[in-house]
Chain A
Amino acid sequence: MHAESYIRPPLIKGNKTYLQITEDIARSVEAKPSKLWWIATSIAATLMAWGLFCIGWTVWFGIGTWGLNRTVGWGWDITNFVWWIGIGHAGTLISAILLLFRQKWRTGVNRAAEAMTIFAVICAALFPVFHMGRVWLAFFNLPYPNTRGPVWPNFNSPLMWDVFAISTYFTVSLLFWYTGLIPDIATIRDRAKSKIAHWAYSVLSFGWVGSAKHWQRHEMLSLVLAGISTPLVLSVHTIVSFDFATSVIPGWHTTIFPPYFVAGAIFSGFAMVLTLMIITRKVLNLEQYITIDHIESMNKIIVLTGSIVGCAYLTELFTAWYSQNPYEQYAFANRALGPYWWSYWGMMTCNVISPQLFWIRKLRRSAWFTFFMSIVINCGMWFERFVIIVTSLHRDYIPSSWAMYSPTWVEISIYIGSLGLFFTAFLIFAKTMPVIAMAEIKHILKISGEAQKDAAHAHSKDHGREPVIIPQTI
């Protein structure tokens, strides 16, 4: 049994028992959907339906319904793609990397963050797929023996690497998430009162009963999946950045892209986790499991990754000047002072300046401020992708081909539709599955539960060992 220092804040507040944990977390699944849930889900589903209609419109009439032109071939589509993929990075980071680093606070948020990852990757995949135009030929990406030669896809192309990276990322995240869910679904199954619920959760729980041997294998599987997901998370956004970095476009052709993209992805991913979890903990009364300390831990990661991103922006700027390459210099001058200046300064304000406010402890520990900031960061990271893509493309090497780009109603609607899809999926998940990994929370209860920690502290005091208390403000 591990022991944990008393000065570490407890991760589970209140005097909880195993039974209470089950009841607290299963309550939201077992209760009837609230009015608020119905309202939120109907709004999200309506937006999703509208987005699907506009995807249909695009397929029917072609990519000409979008605002793209010969100069700006990537606009909102790829911006949204990179944005969603970035958001999808937090889930696996929390569940895999933090598992390897033994950060126990991850247990409060990992389940929901992993679910968020899966939905975000689905949203992301929509954009490059429909950007293909003739979407019914999407299977040309797959290397299968064909009647065209066979002509194989170009495995040397970063776009092809992306196909592999994202499908692998989606599959592995899904496996990781679902194997983690199986024991919790079994808990819900064994508590189910209605026949339908019992039947449905039986099917989904794969017949799990919690045998010692099964748990042993389950632990091994989670550990190894975490181990191989860790480089996978880093590889996915690295490969997304290669889509740009291997090109010869000024502003894209930079070696700094892989670490800069990965940091940005984690930054935006955590922002989205915070957006969702701050609402979820409030609505589902889970404040004792997703405590203010969890929020603070995530905010610390936001400060770290936000500073890396800020540093990368300035490095890019410096390198553009120092390179003495006029094309490179112009690309950056155009970003800051050209017609799309508002997106550049929006990005700078939201991503570089605002996360620095989290150095102040009071702000870092305020749920409301964090919620507000998470929205700001999400906007900032969207601006970043827009800046990278559109401002680098719209003024290329030949001034006669310079052009402006603005999205049409179809593109805007598909983006809004993807948000609708994301929130619909998340709301359905939050209603039907335990949003907190019950089995994992129970696992850390004795180490990190508030009452359990207090008891251990009292016990050590009785034995004449007075632990040194370091004031919380440090």
Chain B
Amino acid sequence: MKRYLLGLFDDDEVLLNAVDSIRSQNIPIHDVVTPFAVHGLDEKLGLKYSRLHIGGFWIGLTGTAIAFSFMTWVFTADWPLVFGGKPNFSFPAFIPIMFEFTVLSASIAMTFAFLMRSHLYPGRFREPLDPRTTSHLFGMVFKINDNTSQDEKDHLSQLLREAGAVEVREREMSKHY
């Protein structure tokens, strides 16, 4: 059994300030779950910058290279055909497909990278710590275990309430959250 302590907030600005005050006490925040993207939260939590776009850029460039080299190979080496007296290597006519293939590779790669890195896949059943966190509440999640004393928990709850939490609850989950 995995155990978590969850502080629930009803306002994003209160949440952002709470993250600051909890982190200033050197208490590790396991995760923050929000119903929408709260701007600035990742910075306050000290999350690393996402490198998704860098991957997208390189895969996109690979797509451009594949499209270009494939069409060049087909028209100059594998099966040179003459269309309306035009040169076999007619680069301007390759541009549209090169562009489309770049966009296609970059977007597919980025989407799959996003899903895989976040362990999201069709049919992944995941019980939320609190169902309201996908609707209107913001949850700050802390890991606890059997060794965590009641005093420690009370102290954390106290801190959360002082920081503006509207509710603090404990959850036991069968799987890692």
How distant is the Cα of A212 from the Cα of B86 in the complex, in angstroms? 55
Interface string of A18-34 (1 = CB under 8 A from B): 11011000000000000
- On whether the beta carbons of A155 and B71 are closer than 8 Å, the reply is yes
- Inter-chain contact count A-B, CB under 8 Å? 199
**With A190-B134, A212-B41 in contact, do A207 and B124 touch (Cβ < 8 Å)?**
yes
CB-contact partner of A228 in B101, B103, B118, under 8 A:
B103
- On whether the beta carbons of B37 and A443 are closer than 8 Å, the reply is yes
CB-contact partner of A168 in B94, B100, B119, B125, under 8 A:
B100
- On whether the beta carbons of A218 and B135 are closer than 8 Å, the reply is no
- On whether the beta carbons of A228 and B60 are closer than 8 Å, the reply is yes
Give the residue name and chain of the B residue nearest to A199 (CB). B125
- On whether the beta carbons of A439 and B36 are closer than 8 Å, the reply is yes
Of B20-28, B50-58, B151-159, B163-171, the segment with at least 4 beta carbons within 8 Å of chain A is B50-58
- On whether the beta carbons of B99 and A231 are closer than 8 Å, the reply is yes
Smallest Cβ distance from A170 to chain B, in angstroms? Answer: 10
Q: Which residues of A contact B172 (CB under 8 A)?
A: none
Give the residue name and chain of the A residue nearest to B140 (CB). A212
**With A190-B135, A213-B42 in contact, do A152 and B78 touch (Cβ < 8 Å)?**
yes
- On whether the beta carbons of B133 and A214 are closer than 8 Å, the reply is no
Kindly state whether residue A17 has any CB partner on chain B within 8 Å.
yes
Q: Which residues of A contact B1 (CB under 8 A)?
A: none
How distant is the Cα of A161 from the Cα of B92 in the complex, in angstroms? 12
- On whether the beta carbons of B79 and A168 are closer than 8 Å, the reply is no
**With A154-B83, A228-B60, A235-B100 in contact, do A213 and B122 touch (Cβ < 8 Å)?**
no
Kindly state whether residue B69 has any CB partner on chain A within 8 Å.
no
Interface string of A185-202 (1 = CB under 8 A from B): 011011100000000001
- On whether the beta carbons of B94 and A155 are closer than 8 Å, the reply is yes
How distant is the Cα of A148 from the Cα of B83 in the complex, in angstroms? 19
- On whether the beta carbons of A164 and B97 are closer than 8 Å, the reply is yes
Q: Which residues of A contact B101 (CB under 8 A)?
A: 164, 168
**With A155-B74, A209-B126 in contact, do A440 and B36 touch (Cβ < 8 Å)?**
yes
Interface string of B79-114 (1 = CB under 8 A from A): 101010010001001101101110110111011001
Smallest Cβ distance from B2 to chain A, in angstroms? Answer: 14
Smallest Cβ distance from B115 to chain A, in angstroms? Answer: 7
CB-contact partner of B111 in A158, A175, A239, under 8 A:
A175
Q: Which residues of A contact B131 (CB under 8 A)?
A: 190-191
Smallest Cβ distance from B133 to chain A, in angstroms? Answer: 6
- On whether the beta carbons of A224 and B52 are closer than 8 Å, the reply is yes
How distant is the Cα of A22 from the Cα of B35 in the complex, in angstroms? 10
Number of B residues contacting the other chain (C-beta, 8 Å)? 66
Q: Report A1-59 residues with CB < 8 Å from chain B CB.
A: 1, 17-19, 21-22
- On whether the beta carbons of B33 and A209 are closer than 8 Å, the reply is yes
- On whether the beta carbons of A18 and B42 are closer than 8 Å, the reply is no
How distant is the Cα of A81 from the Cα of B122 in the complex, in angstroms? 32
How distant is the Cα of A179 from the Cα of B112 in the complex, in angstroms? 10
How distant is the Cα of A187 from the Cα of B115 in the complex, in angstroms? 18
Give the residue name and chain of the A residue nearest to B129 (CB). A209
- On whether the beta carbons of B96 and A207 are closer than 8 Å, the reply is no
Interface string of A112-155 (1 = CB under 8 A from B): 00000000000000000000000000000001000001111011
Q: Which residues of A contact B52 (CB under 8 A)?
A: 217, 220-221, 224
Interface string of B136-165 (1 = CB under 8 A from A): 100000000000000000000000000000
Q: Which residues of B contact A189 (CB under 8 A)?
A: 134
Give the residue name and chain of the B residue nearest to A212 (CB). B32
- On whether the beta carbons of A210 and B35 are closer than 8 Å, the reply is yes
Residue of B50, B110, B125, B135 with most chain A CB atoms under a 10 A cut-off: B135
- On whether the beta carbons of A213 and B118 are closer than 8 Å, the reply is yes
Give the residue name and chain of the B residue nearest to A188 (CB). B134
How distant is the Cα of A425 from the Cα of B136 in the complex, in angstroms? 30
- On whether the beta carbons of A1 and B13 are closer than 8 Å, the reply is yes
- On whether the beta carbons of B33 and A211 are closer than 8 Å, the reply is yes
- On whether the beta carbons of A211 and B31 are closer than 8 Å, the reply is yes
How distant is the Cα of A176 from the Cα of B10 in the complex, in angstroms? 29
Q: Which residues of A contact B12 (CB under 8 A)?
A: 446
Q: Which residues of A contact B36 (CB under 8 A)?
A: 183, 210, 215, 438-440, 442-443
How distant is the Cα of A262 from the Cα of B76 in the complex, in angstroms? 33
Kindly state whether residue A342 has any CB partner on chain B within 8 Å.
no
CB-contact partner of A143 in B45, B70, B114, B134, under 8 A:
B70
Kindly state whether residue A160 has any CB partner on chain B within 8 Å.
yes
Interface string of A167-178 (1 = CB under 8 A from B): 110011001100
CB-contact partner of B31 in A164, A202, A212, under 8 A:
A212
- On whether the beta carbons of A210 and B96 are closer than 8 Å, the reply is no
Q: Which residues of B contact A225 (CB under 8 A)?
A: 107, 110-111
Kindly state whether residue B64 has any CB partner on chain A within 8 Å.
no
Smallest Cβ distance from A137 to chain B, in angstroms? Answer: 19
- On whether the beta carbons of A216 and B96 are closer than 8 Å, the reply is no
Give the residue name and chain of the B residue nearest to A215 (CB). B37
**With A207-B121, A212-B42, A442-B36 in contact, do A220 and B115 touch (Cβ < 8 Å)?**
no
Give the residue name and chain of the A residue nearest to B51 (CB). A220
Q: Which residues of B contact A228 (CB under 8 A)?
A: 56, 60, 103, 106-107
Kindly state whether residue A208 has any CB partner on chain B within 8 Å.
yes
Q: Which residues of A contact B177 (CB under 8 A)?
A: 209
Given contacts A207-B124, A232-B103, 7 further A-B contacts (CB under 8 A): A17-B136, A176-B107, A207-B126, A211-B32, A223-B53, A438-B35, A438-B36
* A-B contact list, 22 entries, CB within 8 Å: A1-B39, A154-B83, A155-B74, A155-B94, A156-B75, A156-B90, A161-B100, A165-B96, A167-B104, A175-B107, A183-B36, A190-B133, A209-B126, A212-B34, A213-B47, A213-B118, A215-B37, A215-B38, A215-B41, A221-B114, A438-B35, A442-B136
Give the 10 A-B residue pairs with the shortest CB-CB distance, closest first: A207-B124, A18-B136, A190-B131, A206-B120, A207-B126, A19-B136, A439-B36, A156-B93, A161-B96, A164-B100
